[in-house]
Structure 1
Amino acid sequence: MKKIILSLIILSALTAGCTSDKEKASERSQVSGVEVKTINKTAVDDFYETAATVKSKISSVVSSMIMGQVTSLRVKEGDKVRTGQLLLTIDSRDTAQKAMGAQAGVNEALKGAEEADQNRKLSNKTYQRYENLYKENVLTKQEFDQISTQKKVADLQYQRAMHGVNRAKARLGEVGVYQSYSRVTAPVSGIVVQKNTDLGSMAAPGQPLLTIETPSNLELVADINESMIDKIKIGTPVYLESEGKNIKSKITSVIPIIDPMTRTFKVKIALSSLNSGGYAKVKIPVAKKEAIAVPQNSVVQKGQLTGVYTVDEKNIISYRLIRTGKTFGNNVEVLSGLSSGDKIITSGIEKAIDGGEIK
Structure 2
Amino acid sequence: MTNSIFKTIIFSLLITFPLFASEWEKTTAENETQLFNVQVLESKGYEVKDNIEFSSTTEAHQRIQVKSEIMTTVDSVLVKAGNLVKKNDLVVKLDEYETNLELFALDLLSESEFKKIALYAPFDGILLDNHKIAGELVTPGEKVYELIDLSSLKIYGYINENEIMNISNENEVEITILGENVQGVIDYVSPIADPETKTFEIVVKVNNKDLRYKDGLSSIISIIKGKVLAHKISPSILALGDQGELGVKVITDNNLVGFKEIEIIEDTSDYMLVTGLDKIEKIIIVGQQYVSNGEKVNF
TM-score by length of 2: 0.53
Equivalent in the alignment of 2:190: 255
Kindly indicate whether residue 266 of structure 2 is the aligned counterpart of residue 326 of structure 1: yes
| Aligned partners of 1:291 and 1:333 also within 8 Å | no
Structure 1: state its 5+ residue gaps: 1-37, 101-168, 295-323, 343-359
Larger Rg: 1
Shift in Å at residue 77 of structure 1?
3.5
What amino acid is the match of 1:272? N
1:67-82 equivalence runs, <5 A: 67-82=71-86
**Per-residue Cα deviation, 1:299-323 (whole angstroms, up to 9, x for no partner):** xxxxxxxxxxxxxxxxxxxxxxxxx
Q: Distance in 2 between matches of 1:62 and 1:217?
A: 20
Q: Distance in 2 between matches of 1:251 and 1:180?
A: 36
1:4-153 equivalence runs, <5 A: 40-92=44-96
Q: Distance in 1 between matches of 2:53 and 2:204?
A: 14
Secondary structure at 1:210 match in 2:
strand
Q: Distance in 2 between matches of 1:227 and 1:179?
A: 54
Q: 1:173 aligns with which of 109, 112, 130?
A: 109
Shift in Å at residue 270 of structure 1?
3.0
Q: Distance in 2 between matches of 1:335 and 1:177?
A: 62
Equivalent in the alignment of 1:284: 223
Q: Give the percent of matched residue pairs that are identical in Structure 1 and Structure 2.
A: 24
1:336-347 equivalence runs, <5 A: none
| Aligned partners of 2:70 and 2:116 also within 8 Å | yes
Q: Distance in 2 between matches of 1:249 and 1:96?
A: 47
Q: 2:157 aligns with which of 210, 222, 225?
A: 222
Shift in Å at residue 242 of structure 1?
1.5
Shift in Å at residue 237 of structure 1?
0.8
Secondary structure at 2:162 match in 1:
helix
Shift in Å at residue 327 of structure 1?
7.9
Kindly indicate whether residue 272 of structure 2 is the aligned counterpart of residue 272 of structure 1: no
Q: 1:197 aligns with which of 132, 135, 146?
A: 132
Shift in Å at residue 246 of structure 1?
2.2
Q: Distance in 2 between matches of 1:96 and 1:61?
A: 25
Q: Distance in 1 between matches of 2:71 and 2:282?
A: 77
| Aligned partners of 2:183 and 2:207 also within 8 Å | no
Which has the larger share of strand? Answer: 2
Shift in Å at residue 87 of structure 1?
0.8
| Aligned partners of 2:183 and 2:206 also within 8 Å | no
Q: More relative contact order in 1 or in 2 (CA 8 Å, sep 6+)?
A: 1
Taking a change above 3 Å as real, the CA distance of residues 200 and 258 of structure 1, as seen in their structure-2 partners, is farther
Taking a change above 3 Å as real, the CA distance of residues 288 and 62 of structure 1, as seen in their structure-2 partners, is same
Q: Distance in 2 between matches of 1:335 and 1:218?
A: 32
| Aligned partners of 1:68 and 1:202 also within 8 Å | yes
| Aligned partners of 1:235 and 1:252 also within 8 Å | no
Q: Distance in 2 between matches of 1:96 and 1:272?
A: 41
Q: Distance in 2 between matches of 1:39 and 1:75?
A: 64
Taking a change above 3 Å as real, the CA distance of residues 222 and 193 of structure 1, as seen in their structure-2 partners, is farther
Which has the larger share of helix? Answer: 1
Taking a change above 3 Å as real, the CA distance of residues 335 and 195 of structure 1, as seen in their structure-2 partners, is same
Q: Distance in 1 between matches of 2:191 and 2:122?
A: 31
What amino acid is the match of 2:220? K
Q: Distance in 2 between matches of 1:210 and 1:224?
A: 36
Q: Distance in 2 between matches of 1:61 and 1:77?
A: 14
Shift in Å at residue 325 of structure 1?
7.6
The alignment of Structure 1 onto Structure 2 pairs a total of residues equal to: 199
What amino acid is the match of 1:173? L
| Aligned partners of 1:190 and 1:213 also within 8 Å | yes
Taking a change above 3 Å as real, the CA distance of residues 255 and 210 of structure 1, as seen in their structure-2 partners, is farther
Taking a change above 3 Å as real, the CA distance of residues 92 and 244 of structure 1, as seen in their structure-2 partners, is same
Shift in Å at residue 43 of structure 1?
3.2
Structure 2: state its 5+ residue gaps: 1-41, 234-263, 275-279, 284-299
